[in-house]
Structure formats: structure tokens, C-alpha cells
Amino acid sequence: MARAKITIVGAGNVGATTAHWCAAAELGDIVLVDIPQTEGMPAGKALDLMEASPIMGFDSNITGTTSYAETQNSDVVVITAGIPRKPGMSRDDLLATNAKIVGMVTEEVKTSSPNAIIIVVSNPLDAMVQRALQVSGFPSNRVLGQAGVLDTARYRTFLAMELGVSVEDISALLMGGHGDTMVPMPSCTSVGGIPITRLLNEERLEEIVQRTRDGGAEIVGLLKTGSAFYAPAAATAQMVEAIVRDKKRLIPCAAYCDSEYEVGGYYVGVPVIIGAQGVEKIVELELTDQEQSDFQNSVEHVKTLVEKMGTLVAG
């Protein structure tokens, strides 16, 4: 059986670390593509990672290039290209620059890998996935965004730290846009099957929810010169695995919702089943009044962002 071909666009911290996680899990052969100031950079990172394979015991061919020719007929394309956040910046501040970058990358992907599934990681996430859909013209199930896996991982981490339990025992869900309006769902959060509301009071849970919303900014503030990359890359690799191994994982990600949740044709974080076809099903939950209100607020923010992006791209 032929190995899956995985292209990762952007060989910076997120892209290179995604390649690392994917190679270590033997998800397929990997092409790292970038147009950096130093032309040999993607090839250098790919070779360095390849030389780790005898030590770590994985069989994946990893190549680095500045040309999309070597990415031909990829099964999955991960787009991490774009400028990262700096201290004081919101994800939304990246809108104009990254919309242009993601648009150019998607044009290349459309030509070189017309049957690929695209996973977008670039921020502001929900708007960037919408941009990739617009430019590619792919069916919406084959264009999705990594956000919910990362946000849920942060939420689970903070809950585990608070309760002194294993992260493996925490099951959680977040919905909405990837940003300050994300909607952690206490009604869908449990520890070893015990509802979180029976273990934490409402006030402390809300503090943890807020830390989750600020999770990316907290790391940007600590690093000073960049943004998070280990956890975003691991989250992306989990999505790649669900596709190339047809795992049918039920995980939250940015998916195109039209009639679903009455979103009306935008990307927003919802629980989905991910398999070989990309987004194979959007799982619709009955939300509480508060969850519905918070989710609608998040959707409105995404709509505003997409409309602003449309103006910037047209200009």
C-alpha cells in the first residue's frame, strides 16, 4: 500500500514541528515547502528531520523545497504559511497580510494537488479557511481548519492542572470561532465520566475558560518573539492522522456550516467526524440558551472578519 503524501506549506516553527509529529507517527511521506529568505532552509530542516529517523525508528521520506512541483498529487496539504502574532497583536490583526499569503498558496495547491484535503492553520483561522475555500473551489468537506483540537487541548490541560488528574481522563468540547469569542462547553466536559460542574464551582470554571480563550496570547506574551507551535502542530498532526488513516475521529474543527447551527455559509468551530473524505459529518448538538447565545456571538464575529477580509482582498 502506497504511503500517503503530506505537503506542509510553511517551514517555520509550526510547519516544521507538524512535519516532526507526522514523521514520528509515520503518517506518510512529507514535503516541506517554503519561500524563505534563505533558499536552502526547507531542505535543511527536512534533511535534519530525516537524519533523526534511524534514531527514533520511523520510516518517512521527508523533503524540503521552494517549488510546488515536488508537492504534486498530495493527499493532504497543511497550510501554516503567514506571519505569526507578536505581543499586543490579536489574531485578527494578521488579516490583510495572511489573506494574501493563504490566497497565493491555495492557488498553487489547486493546480498541483487538485484532489487534496486542505487543513488551514494560519490565523485569523476562521477567515483564512474561508479564503482557502473561495480560492480553491474545492468541495467544502475537503477544506477545514485546525482550531478546536488545539483549543480543546488547552482547556483539558488547564483542567488537569487544576484538578491534579491525568489529561487522558478529561473529555471536553469547544465551539465557535478561534479567538476571544470561542465557546467552551461545560455541558460537554467531564473527568472520568463525571460532569465538570460536579468537580469545580462555576466561578473557577469560568476562570479556566477565560485562560483557554487567552491561551495563545499567554504564550505570545511569554515568548516575546513568536507564538505557540508545539501544541498547534500536534493538533494539526492529529487531524492529518484522522484523514490518512480514516480514523473517523469526532473532534472539533473549523468546518463550513450552512444550514448546520443556522450559521449561513461560514467556517466556525463545531464537532465533526473526520475521516478519509475530510469532514464526513457535522455533529449538531442541542445547545443550552447560554451556549446558543455565546455561539451566535462568536459566529457574528467570524462574519464580520470575513466581510472585512473581502474588502481588503478586493482593495
Return the pLDDT at 38.
83
Residue 59 scores a pLDDT above 90? yes
β pairing state of 76-79 and 5-9: parallel
Q: What is the mean pLDDT of the chain?
A: 95
When pLDDT is cut at 50, 70 and 90, the band that residue 10 belongs to is very high
Q: 128: Cβ–Cβ under 8 A, 6 or more apart, which residues?
A: 79, 82, 98, 99, 102, 120, 122, 145
| Structure-model confidence comparison of residues 94 and 195, the more confident one | 195
Q: Which CATH number fits domain 148-307: 3.80.30.20, 3.90.110.10, 3.90.1750.10, 3.50.50.60?
A: 3.90.110.10
Q: What residue ranges do the domains of the chain occupy?
A: 5-145, 148-307
User: What's the DSSP call for residue 270?
Assistant: E
State the average pLDDT over residues 126-145. 97
State the average pLDDT over residues 244-250. 98
Residue 315 scores a pLDDT above 90? no
Hey, which residues are catalytic here?
Answer: 178
Return the pLDDT at 146.
96
State the average pLDDT over residues 99-116. 97
Return the pLDDT at 45.
97
Locate 289 and state its grid cell. 440558551
CATH architecture, domain 5-145: 3-Layer(aba) Sandwich (3.40)
Locate 281 and state its grid cell. 459529518
